[in-house]
Homo-oligomer: A and B are copies of this chain.
Amino acid sequence: MSDRDRIEIHDGGGPVFGAGIWHFATYVDRYATDGYGEPRTVLDGIRLAGQVEDLSVVDLNWPFPPASAGIGTGEVKDALAAQDLRAIAVTPEIYTGTFAKGGFTNPDPAVRRAAVDLVAASAEVGRELGVDYVKLWPGQDGFDYPFQADYIDLWDKSVGAVRELALAFPDLRFAIEYKPREPRNRMVFSSVARTLLAIEDMGVDNVGVLLDFGHALYGGETPAESARMAIARDKLFAIDVNDNFRGWDDDMVVGSVHLLETFEFFFALHDAGWSGVWQLDQFPFREDSVEAARAGIRTMKAFHQALGYLDRKELAEAQAAQDALGAQRIAKRALFRALAESESA
């Protein structure tokens, strides 16, 4: 890694907070096929997002849910404006039933084309909304069984499709959200390092990584380390946070399990001078989504406060000595102070 990520930045006023709009949706799964609540449109979601005090930006699925409703971009823009929200990203739905056997890697060329076309159409919508990036999450691209797929073929199709899109929209940025698995048993863009290698193979400048803390965690990565790796290559375009029990993408509320490692993740971002949005990707299946978002942001604000309390010099010395007990104590002192203040407020 180069020293590129050592740049100091001035972040006056604290981080910008965001959320995927699906945070405010209701969900189905393979058992509760009738859903965990009444269906909501993207407009319902925006209204709920507007109730979360510190939320400034949202990432929007496209076609705007439900696809059948034909909700237009103008309507969404108005709804965002009414809530004082901005669209940071658009997420084309290349993982629905149409793409059950793959989007970019579907064995049927017509479906592959449909996936690329859907992303292209969403990119146009993204331009209209003024987004920072188009998010690519090819959740059905991968395989389920040993021997099912030709791995070179899956790789080449994935790399080729994203390259084509990147070249077609040189003014836009594309952020690949990697994930080890689900819905596919194994996904093509499964880890930060694989995704960085794929981006190299694309040979374009406007593709980067969206690092989801939970995906890194349950993929066996150390999220803070993954962040440093992507930043060192100038490829960390966006982040999402949530929490899980390390075995699955539980999308729990930030800080509900891994307080120290989530704080370390934000420390890594801050220490490297990364200045993007602190964004939630929580799925509150059985919780009130507005309260879940507030809880996540409250914890993130405490993390930000804790970064201010952190004795950087002392920490750097402990880390230079790889002194686990010492470094943990320094980090905990800052973190617990901020968390105590936050929770007693």
A320 x B153 contact (CB < 8 A): yes
Q: Does A114 sit at the interface, judged by CB under 8 A?
A: no
Mark each residue of chain A from 137 to 156: 1 if its CB lies under 8 Å from any CB of chain B, else 0: 00110011111111111011
Is there a chain B Cβ closer than 8 Å to A50's Cβ?
no
* A81 CB-CB contact with B under 8 Å: no
Query: What is the chain B residue whose CB lies nearest that of A27?
Result: B30
In A177-224, the 8 Å CB interface with B consists of: 180-183, 185-186, 190-191, 193-194, 196-197, 201, 219-220, 222, 224
Interface residue A343 (Cβ < 8 Å from any Cβ of B) = yes
Does any Cβ of B come within 8 Å of A316's Cβ?
A: yes
Question: Per-residue 0/1 for A269-301: is the Cβ within 8 Å of any B Cβ (1 yes, 0 no)?
Answer: 000000000000001011110011001000000
Are A339 and B344 interface neighbours, CB within 8 A? no
Closest to A95 in B: B31
Contacts of A259 in B (CB 8 A): 259-260
Instruction: Determine whether the beta carbon of B36 is less than 8 Å from that of A28.
Output: no
B residues near A95, Cβ cutoff 8 Å: 31-32
Which of B32, B97, B315, B324 meets A100, CB within 8 Å?
Answer: B32
Q: Please judge, given known A-B contacts A180-B220, A219-B220, whether A148 and B328 are in contact too, CB under 8 Å.
A: yes
Choose among B36, B143, B225, B256 the residue that contacts A260 (Cβ–Cβ < 8 A): B256
Interface assignment of A124: CB less than 8 Å from any CB of chain B: no
Query: How far is A315 from B149 in the complex, measured between Cα atoms in Å?
Result: 10
Interface residues of A in 1-50 (CB under 8 A from B): 1, 5, 27-37
Identify 25 residue pairs between A and B in the complex whose beta-carbon atoms are under 8 Å apart, listed by A's number. A1-B152, A29-B30, A31-B140, A34-B67, A34-B98, A107-B322, A144-B324, A145-B328, A146-B331, A149-B319, A150-B316, A150-B319, A151-B268, A181-B248, A185-B245, A197-B229, A219-B220, A247-B247, A248-B248, A259-B260, A329-B343, A332-B339, A336-B339, A336-B340, A337-B344
- Which residues in A have some Cβ–Cβ distance to B below 8 Å? 1, 5, 27-37, 67, 95-102, 105, 107, 139-140, 143-153, 155-156, 180-183, 185-186, 190-191, 193-194, 196-197, 201, 219-220, 222, 224-225, 228-229, 232, 245-248, 250, 252-253, 256-261, 264, 267-268, 283, 285-288, 291-292, 295, 315-316, 319-325, 327-333, 336-337, 339-344
3 tightest A-B contacts by CB? A193-B193, A340-B340, A145-B324
